[in-house]
Structure 1
Amino acid sequence: MNQKKEALLLLEDGTAYKGLALGKSGTTGGEICFNTGMTGYQEIYTDPSYYGQIIVNTNSHIGNYGVQLEDEEESGSVKIRGMVCNTFSQIYSRDTADFSLQEYFERANIVGISNVDTRHLVRHVREKGVMNAIISSEILDEVELMKELKKIPSMDGLELSSEVTTEEPYYMGDEATAKWRVAVMDYGIKKSILLNLTSRGCYCKVFPAKTPYEEVLEWKPDGFFISNGPGDPSAMEYAVENVTQMVETAKPLFGICLGHQLLALSSGITTYKMHHGHRGLNHPVKNLITGLCEITSQNHGFAVKPDEIESHPDIEVTHINLNDKTIEGIRRKDYPAFSVQYHPEASPGPHDSRYLFDEFIKLLSEAK
């Protein structure tokens, strides 16, 4: 693409930003949100939890280390709808990179915009809250572009996991040497989560999102894993029903991010859409059981209602966010089921929270 080609970013409140086109020429729209991570852009773009969203990368330079396909893909394809950044690098410094981020986006048909004042944009989103937006290198008239923007559905009430889930079940791990069989519900699973399970002796069968509970149970798993994913958890009645039945088997269950919200919903706790969510690699979380703090990787726009959890007789709050006191972890008192709102696999991000996989393994060992 000609990097001098103009592009326009338009937010649903009418705020507009002019810049230069990147990736594929075209028009794209979705909910705009920002990620404060200074590295790991490829992992972010392939995280299914970002499906339906335009990502604002707050780091000032994006693309400068290129793209490496073998090690840094969290799913089989780019999942974001579009990307916004300040400086977009056409060249890259890493010898092991397969090609540039520009070529990567062209292959994936991703439309983006650079040369945007991302500091101003992020402050605007933090003040006004997340909203839908549209990027175009074709339509540079704000009135015409707003007509297209109004066609984009709100993330509130939107079910998206069924659009990113695997079409067929598949396996990960070594069945011959594995100690435990874990049924993984794929609502938008990240590859690094599965690797954290298999490296600890789990043989995983990954099920499509809408697999009936009875079919999952036929595999005779030792435990259940409820994955991350995109969209509004309250629109996923099929998943809430499945998780409810899985908890009641009294087999160990571990949920991450969307899985955390689904465990809460299955326990009668409601969720809500956050003002602008948590997305980045530096969110401080306190473990209320140990008293220790951890720096976490996060990506979520929905959360569970704290007042309902704190008054629930069978739920214990295990983790809280030290920035805004939102609930970051819960566990059932009556069943071996627990969840966290953040991403302990942390790809990208710090590895402070990987002990949670060990806690799941401990539950599997005790149950066996």
Structure 2
Amino acid sequence: MFFDTECSAILLLEDGTYFEGISFGAVGTISGEVVFNTGMTGYQEVITDPSYYGQLITFTYPEIGNTGVNPEDNESLHPSVKGLITRQISNVSSNWRNKIDFDQWLKNENVVGIRGIDTRVLVRHLRESGTLNGIISSDSSLTITELFSDLKKSPNMSGLNLVDKVTTKDSFKVISSCPVAFDKRIKNIKTNPYKIIAIDFGIKKSILDRLVAHGCEVTVLPASASISDVLDLSPEGVFLSNGPGDPAAVDSGIKLAKELIKYEKLPVFGICLGHQILGLALGGKTFKLSYGHRGLNHPCGLNGKVEITSQNHGFALNSESLNSERIKITRFNLNDQTVAAISVIDKPFFGVQYHPEASPGPHDADHHFNHFVTLIEERRRFVD
């Protein structure tokens, strides 16, 4: 037994650091990249966001589970994270929308958790040491040596293509959205919707909601879609979605983006991984951030204009690799000056590193969806 009788779970990091805590959710042993999210709300959206696939997520807010779980707030059908790390969870679910207890939901979905550790110490360690792989175990029969041996087998996120783990296997169409999407942010409902192709690298439901709310009829295609798959559907615009893993390893997505750029006729909009793939297709390079950007209050802007954004990424575009004669950096992350948004000069291609759909987070950046449909509207007038 690796811990005393008062503890029931352990978090072991690849540098040998370990934390003893209490098990919650499913009982088991799981390894992955340990990351942290600084948001105070939205734990359900975070846990079900496909961009977190293969990771162990640490919540810096000291308590989660307060509002239980409801199906409307899921970003995908099931949790995407491998494991959860938190200071404590609430034993009471206080929300009229709650359908199932948080801990029971995690058990049903086989998500392993550890609570009762000092997440402040853990996050400080990750900020100083950089992102580390880790293993959570609530199996008391395993020794530290055995866990460390298993942890060494966990792959590094750099060079890892995880898109195939989360992308849809079959295409599907989204022509209406849940009522939440039609909120006060929508200006009008289109009777002649914009026909959009969304390439699914791990797309969030709320992104589809926002596209529909801005008047789009969306056909979602797998990440392996070819240029002919796209053009055969006669779209008016192409959306490149968020997703997990190393963007430089998503060969099929980069190839498609390059062909869309050569085609030149369709507006292209990328978010997060899609933004990075667009940048790579334009000749840029990406690099792994020391500990990533994951939270709800990251300031991004340029020339005195700022918007507060929701973010979730571990890689970023290298600003020096972008051809300034062709590509304009339209926003920087004001915390560390990494590239936060780009556009192609005189072409209808643009991407943002953050999440304008929020969910969770502020709505400052929702205007990017409006910019996308404005480009499509301009193309309609030109074609007509």
| TM-score, structure 1 normalization | 0.96
Which of 152, 159, 162 is 1:160 aligned to?
Answer: 162
2:183 matched residue in structure 1: none
Question: What amino acid sits opposite 2:241 in the alignment?
Answer: S
Paired residues for 1:212-361 under 5 Å: 212-250=226-264, 251-288=266-303, 291-309=304-322, 311-361=323-373
- How far off is 1:247 after superposition? 2.1
- How far off is 1:237 after superposition? 1.3
Paired residues for 1:101-250 under 5 Å: 101-139=102-140, 141-173=143-175, 177-250=191-264
Secondary structure of the residue that 1:248 maps to in structure 2? helix
Q: Which one is further off, 279-288 or 322-331?
A: 279-288
- CA separation in 2, counterparts of 1:4 and 1:224? 54
- CA separation in 1, counterparts of 2:307 and 2:192? 30
- CA separation in 2, counterparts of 1:220 and 1:118? 50
1:63 matched residue in structure 2: 65
- CA separation in 1, counterparts of 2:116 and 2:91? 13
Deviations, residues 217-260 of structure 1 (Å, cap 9, x unaligned): 10000010000000001111111010111122221110000011
* C-alpha spacing 1:243/1:133, structure 2 compared with 1 (3 Å): same
- How far off is 1:158 after superposition? 0.3
1:13 matched residue in structure 2: 15
- CA separation in 2, counterparts of 1:206 and 1:126? 37
Question: What amino acid sits opposite 2:309 in the alignment?
Answer: T
Deviations, residues 337-357 of structure 1 (Å, cap 9, x unaligned): 000000000010000000000
- CA separation in 2, counterparts of 1:125 and 1:90? 28
Q: How many residues align?
A: 362
2:184 matched residue in structure 1: none
- CA separation in 1, counterparts of 2:133 and 2:12? 9
Secondary structure of the residue that 1:347 maps to in structure 2? coil
On the 8 A contact 1:178/1:203 being kept in 2, the answer is no
Secondary structure of the residue that 1:293 maps to in structure 2? strand
Question: What amino acid sits opposite 1:285 in the alignment?
Answer: C
1:95 matched residue in structure 2: 96
Question: What amino acid sits opposite 1:345 in the alignment?
Answer: E
Percent identity, please.
46
Secondary structure of the residue that 2:67 maps to in structure 1? coil
Paired residues for 1:5-84 under 5 Å: 6-69=8-71, 71-84=72-85
Answering whether residue 363 of structure 2 is matched by residue 363 of structure 1, we say no
On the 8 A contact 2:83/2:136 being kept in 1, the answer is yes
Question: What amino acid sits opposite 1:36 in the alignment?
Answer: T
On the 8 A contact 1:48/1:230 being kept in 2, the answer is yes
- CA separation in 2, counterparts of 1:95 and 1:277? 34
Deviations, residues 319-352 of structure 1 (Å, cap 9, x unaligned): 0011100000000014210000000000100000
Structure 2 alignment gaps of length 5 or more:
177-188
Question: What amino acid sits opposite 1:265 in the alignment?
Answer: L
On the 8 A contact 2:190/2:215 being kept in 1, the answer is no
- CA separation in 1, counterparts of 2:21 and 2:102? 18
- How far off is 1:287 after superposition? 4.1
Question: What amino acid sits opposite 1:260 in the alignment?
Answer: H
On the 8 A contact 2:276/2:317 being kept in 1, the answer is yes
- CA separation in 1, counterparts of 2:250 and 2:97? 41
- CA separation in 1, counterparts of 2:97 and 2:276? 38
- CA separation in 1, counterparts of 2:191 and 2:162? 35
Question: What amino acid sits opposite 2:48 in the alignment?
Answer: T
- CA separation in 1, counterparts of 2:226 and 2:193? 25
Secondary structure of the residue that 1:75 maps to in structure 2? coil
Secondary structure of the residue that 1:34 maps to in structure 2? strand
- CA separation in 1, counterparts of 2:192 and 2:261? 23
* C-alpha spacing 1:55/1:264, structure 2 compared with 1 (3 Å): same
- CA separation in 2, counterparts of 1:227 and 1:148? 33
Deviations, residues 140-170 of structure 1 (Å, cap 9, x unaligned): 5211110111111111100001110111000
| TM-score, structure 2 normalization | 0.92
* C-alpha spacing 1:189/1:160, structure 2 compared with 1 (3 Å): same
Secondary structure of the residue that 2:117 maps to in structure 1? coil
- How far off is 1:178 after superposition? 3.8
- CA separation in 2, counterparts of 1:317 and 1:260? 12
Q: Which runs of 4+ in 1 moved over 6 A?
A: none
Question: What amino acid sits opposite 1:58 in the alignment?
Answer: T
Secondary structure of the residue that 2:263 maps to in structure 1? coil
Deviations, residues 254-307 of structure 1 (Å, cap 9, x unaligned): 00000110010000001001100000001011145xx42111000000000011
